[in-house]
Structure 1
Amino acid sequence: MPLRFSRIAALCLALVVGGVAGAAWAEPLRFSTVVIDAGHGGRDGGSVWNGLIEKKLCLDVAKRVEAGLKSKGVKTVMTRRTDTFVELAQRARMANRAPSSVFVSIHFNGSRQTALAGREVYYRSPRGQSLAAAISRFFKSRVPGGTRGIFRGNYKVLRETRMPAVLVECGYLSNKREASRCADAAHRQKIADAIVSGLLAARAK
């Protein structure tokens, strides 16, 4: 009888804690600045598939996200604006100097499993999870190819940033159909618009 009771009590406690965590996860975020991190750069080209170089696409989408946020009156900080190499630790330090901010690192994916396609958003903290979910929701509804979902990740830029942070994989360049889409500026604009919409949806009014 005591053993059965303890199991029931443990189950109830888990439900309560899960409910509290879910409520916190759903809370809107308060921020005035978005730190936009264009992945790779310089000597680090990132993934290279189907004639596309990741670092170039990352910077293109990052600039589109910056323009979209500025048009909505949101302050931005870019970790790089040109084809330059920036250490991961330096990117995190730049972000941590920006008060009242969130961080979004922009990447494109690649895999030997060339059938894989779709966008992915990674987070590490509960508040990062809230941001990831909002962005993924707009990927699903507004970007051809949809989303593979959100995932907990242990990337350095997520570990070392102190604000809500996400790393966005904007598509698999290793998938020929998706690579063809990503080569199109109009498609990259849709990706950027979805990221902007997700950021704004997660923001407290």
Structure 2
Amino acid sequence: MSALFRLSRIALASLALLAGGMATTAAAQSLRFSTVVIDAGHGGHDGGAARNGLVEKRLCLDVAKRVEAGLKARGLKTAMTRRTDTFVDLSQRARVANRIPSSIFVSIHFNGSRKTLISGGEVYYRSSRGKALASAISRSIKARVTGGMRGIFYGDYKVLRETKATAVLVECGYISNKREAARCATPAHRQKLAEAIVSGILAARAR
């Protein structure tokens, strides 16, 4: 066997291992779940961000309900941490998710900043599986929603830290930015956000 032939076989074997590793990684990023726990951020005395005539807690609940409707229409089971304008402790939100087997947790928020030029969505994760789900949701929002995405980020938020299942926190946009606030104020934009979140969740799900 010539040295050149041996090198060729080694190269082919290396490529095969690389391809197999990539396939394994892709498979690992596919999530298996039957229920989506939808967490509408804030509520009750905790209004969240309040800018440009908008209050975060109301937007969160509206989008959460739209996400629930979209997931149910596609055959997935859902659970909500709140359905009304009530305060729910962060640990209680995590406990709701932890009681439900084969679930993922998606917390929905809107952002605010003193830097009013900042706009765009963000998705936060705390685990490798959370990162995969965050990536899928981010890609979906970027492709479908005006305003785009600022990216995905590691976040040590309490609801992510205490939720045992795969969990992400979605910031749907900056209501401190006047142009983005005007979009978020419209039901049509909030529906697009919800549909994009649903599509991202489905894209991350193992078939």
- TM-score by structure 1 length? 0.89
Letter in 2 for 1:126: S
User: Could you tell me which amino acid in structure 2 is paired with residue 108 of structure 1?
Assistant: F
- Asked if the contact 1:158–1:166 (Cα under 8 Å) also holds between the matched residues in 2, the reply is yes
Q: 1:71 to 1:152 in 2, by over 3 A?
A: same
SS state of the match for residue 151, structure 1?
Answer: strand
The counterpart of 1:127, out of the listed 123, 126, 129, is: 129
Amino acid across the alignment from 2:77 = K
Shift of 1:24: 6.0
Q: How does 1:66-85 map to 2 (within 5 A)?
A: 66-85=68-87
Match 2:142 to one of 129, 140, 146? 140
Where does structure 1 lack aligned partners over 5 or more consecutive residues?
1-15
Q: For residue 200 of structure 2, what is the aligned residue in structure 1?
A: 198
> What does the per-residue CA deviation read over 1:70-119, in whole Å, with 9 as the maximum and x for residues that have no partner?
00010000000000000000000000001100000000000000000000
In the TM superposition, what are the counterparts of 1:52-201 in structure 2 within 5 Å?
52-201=54-203
Structure 2: where are the runs of 5+ without partners? Answer: 1-17
Cα shift at 1:26: 5.6
Counterpart of 1:6 in structure 2 is none
Q: Which residue of 2 aligns with 1:8?
A: none
User: Hey, which bits of structure 1, 4+ residues long, moved more than 6 A?
Assistant: none
Q: Which moved more, 1:70-79 or 1:24-33?
A: 24-33
Give the superposition deviation at 1:27.
Answer: 2.3
- Provide the aligned length of Structure 1 versus Structure 2: 187
| Structure 2 CA distance for aligned equivalents of residues 97 and 115 of structure 1 | 40
**Cα RMSD over matched residues?**
1.4
